[in-house]
Structure formats: structure tokens, C-alpha cells
Chain A
Amino acid sequence: MITDTTALFIARQLASGALVTLEITVMAEALVLVLAFTVALMRLSPWRLVRWVATLYVEVLRGISALVLLFYLFFILPLFDISLSPMATGVLGLGLTFSAYGSEIIRSALVNVHQGQRDAVRALDFGPVIALRRIILPQALPVMLPPLGNQLVELLKTTSLVSLITLTDLTFSGAQLITTLGHQTLIWCLVLVGYFLMAWPLTRLVRWYERRVTAWRTT
């Protein structure tokens, strides 16, 4: 039914698509972490205006979906003479959307560090940067990593949206292969397997880390 050359062609196209998917995921996640930390800290700022701007950022980006934002960036920005490559558009759109959720995760982890710790920091007269770096953050990190890890898996799956702004990720490669070759069921199944192989190990890793971190807690 399928010749060797065809099978090789399919494998090559899907593999390069998967590579693009991973590329976008890594770059978007970097952006997410930077933005999420910034916004989380802004939300905890003593200045009301800063807090307000950050809250607006979070509410708006959580209110529109990633796809809406991607389309907006892809079609409307060029009309303002801002020309981003599809890759940059994809990374930016995904980065912005997930940073809104990420900032909430980070913020709640920072806030939930035991009040006693924060009182001690005050009492011992630590500067804010040192306090964050040496006391608060190390304690907040184990709490925020599992949800951030889950978010990374979500991000990986959501990259399939960039196929709609013509980036040749795994989904797009699959769709183009079907146009050329047919074999709908086979190729979509291969695409599903591809995503599964990328997402599942990550999920297990997060679960393992989560269990390790909460091991000291009695259920």
C-alpha cells in the first residue's frame, strides 16, 4: 500500500514538523517565564498603578484565547507596519497568552510562602532583592514548578495552533502530507503519536517531581 520512498517522505516531513514544534515550545516557554515573573512581581508591587497595569495584562490575555491573539498579531500588526516572521508571531502570541496564566501561578506561590518567613525577613532587615533571591524564591520554587511544568505540556500542545498561521509545525506538516498523499487516518494517527511521544515523558517528569516535593507531607 505504501512504498518505502513514501514512508520515508512521510517520516521526514513529520520529523521536521516535530522539530519546529519543539523549537517554538522552547522559545515560547523562555518568553513565558520572563514575562510571568515580571508580571507576578508587578502584581505584588506596592505601587497601585503598577499593580493595576499587571492585572489588566492578566485579565485581557486570559480573556482572549491564544488563537484569537495569534490571528490578531499575524494579520493586524502588518497593517501597522510591524512585520514579524510567522515564527516570531507564533512565539510572541503563545508567550503572551501563557505568561498571563504563568504569572498567576508564580504570584500565588510567592504569596503562599509562610508568613513567618516573610516576617523573619523583615525582622532581619534583608533588602528586597536578597530576600527574594535567597529566602522567598527557593521556598516558592518547589511549589510553582509542578503547575509550571503542566503548563509547559499545555504549551507544547497549543503550538498546534501555529499551523493556522502557516508555520510548518507537526500539525501543519501532517495536513500538507494529507493534501499531497491522502492516507488521512494513517497520517493523523502518526501526528497524534508524535505529540504523545513529546508530551507524555514531560508529564511523567512533572508528576515524579511533584511526588518528590510533597513526599514530606503526610496525606
Chain B
Amino acid sequence: MEFDWAFAWSITPDLLRGLLVTVQVVVLGFVVAVVLGLLLAIAQRSAWAPIRAACAGYLSFFRSTPLMVQLYVLFFALPLAGLTLPPFATGVVGLGLYYAAYIAEAFRGAIEDIPPGQWEAALALDFDRATTWRRLILPQAFKPLLPVLGNYLIGMFKETPLLAVITIPELFQAAKQVAGMSYRYTEPYTLMALMFLAISVPTSLLFKYLEHRRHA
């Protein structure tokens, strides 16, 4: 199967436009996931059982069902209940809700790894709960979390092709469109795979570097 370089070059701008949308959705979705994940991790340690149960239910549900089906529900079923979000927002919310469940678990693990001595010291020094969290626990929890968060960021980036089913014009959708109109598949899909690699491999190397640097 010959690879038509001229054709590949001509479709690159369309694919790059899709890539830009991909990056935008991932960055915003990641922010949502981290914030929500942190809240969930804190709420899981709450003294009130109903809150703990609700968190456990959330985590259980979002981790046991596929992201694609969750996106379908958010996009097609929610409007019937009266809530219609634009596709981009739906994608950000969908990614955020799904990955928050995983990041919450990661936060929980990191927080539990903090020696109980820290908590006791905070108690002895009469810190209130907010200060304890803000100045003592969270800064210590973040350090070992970095590689894990990095993995989830890259994972989220690679899940973006799913957003095509809710009509977000990201990279995979762009490639499918080009292929659908021209009936040539090698060039768009190869370029798409290369663009994915071009982003995920350097990002993973970057995180590996950061991880080693902190240990130095």
C-alpha cells in the first residue's frame, strides 16, 4: 500500500486542528479530575457515614463502567432530563468524573502513607483541620503522587478518541472525517498514530525525569 506523501501533507493541518482540541479537552479534564479527586479523597475520611458511603458508591460506579458508555449517557440521556451541555463541556465533565475516581484512590493511598506522627503533631500543635490539610498533609502527599498523576494524564490523552462519539472535533474525529471523504485510510490513521506517539512518549519521559530528579 503506497503512502501518498503529498496527500499526507495536505491533511496535516486538519489533523493538527483536531490535535489542538484534544489537548484543550485533556488539560481542562485533568484539572477537573484532580480537584474532584482530591475532594473525594478528603470526603472519604469524613466522620459522617452517609458521605463515606456516597463516595464509595461513586468510586465503585465510575470505575466499573466504561468511559465510552458514560459519555453516551452524558451526551444523549442527560438532555432528556433537561440538562444539555455543549459537546466540549460534556467531554471535559465526562473525562473529569471518570478520572476523578481513579485519582481519588491515588490520593487516598498517598494520604494514608503519611506517618501518623504527622497527624499527632498537628493535633499537639493545635492546628485546625483546614491548616493541617493545607500546610502539612497535602504538600507531603503530592510528592509520591507525581508519577501516578502523570500516568493518568497520559492515559486521559489516549482516551480522547472516545470523545469522537460525542461529536467533539478532536484528532481521531478529524482523521475519520478525512478518511470518510477521501476513502484513503493509511495516511490519516498513520499520521494520527504518529501524533499520539509524538505527545505521549515525550510526556512520559518528562514525568520519568521529574520522578528521578526528586529522588536525587
A residues bordering B, Cβ < 8 Å?
A: 59-60, 62-69, 71-72, 75-76, 79-80, 153, 157-161, 163-164, 171, 174-175, 184-185, 188-189, 191-192, 195-196, 199-200, 203
> Which of B24-32, B131-139, B156-164 is the interface stretch?
B156-164
Extra pairs beyond A64-B196, A153-B63, A203-B60 (5, CB < 8 Å): A65-B196, A68-B161, A72-B193, A188-B73, A200-B60
Provide the residues of chain B in CB contact with A160, threshold 8 Å. 66, 68-69
B84 at the interface (CB under 8 A from A): no
Verify B1–A68 contact, CB threshold 8 A: no
Please report whether the interface of chain A is mostly helix, strand, loop or mixed according to DSSP.
Answer: helix
Query: Which of B65, B76, B77, B193 interacts with A68 by CB under 8 Å?
Result: B193
Give the number of residue pairs across the A-B interface with Cβ within 8 Å: 102
Q: Pick from B63, B160, B172, B179 the residue with the most CB of A within 10 Å.
A: B63
Please report whether the interface of chain B is mostly helix, strand, loop or mixed according to DSSP.
Answer: helix
Verify B197–A60 contact, CB threshold 8 A: yes
Provide the residues of chain A in CB contact with B80, threshold 8 Å. 184-185
B58 at the interface (CB under 8 A from A): no
Contact residues, B133-185 vs A (CB, 8 A): 158-162, 165, 172, 179, 185
Q: In the complex the two chains form, what is the Cα distance from A164 to B186 in whole Å? A: 18
Given contacts A79-B185, A184-B80, contact A63 B69 (CB under 8 A): no
Q: In the complex the two chains form, what is the Cα distance from A200 to B70 in whole Å? A: 16
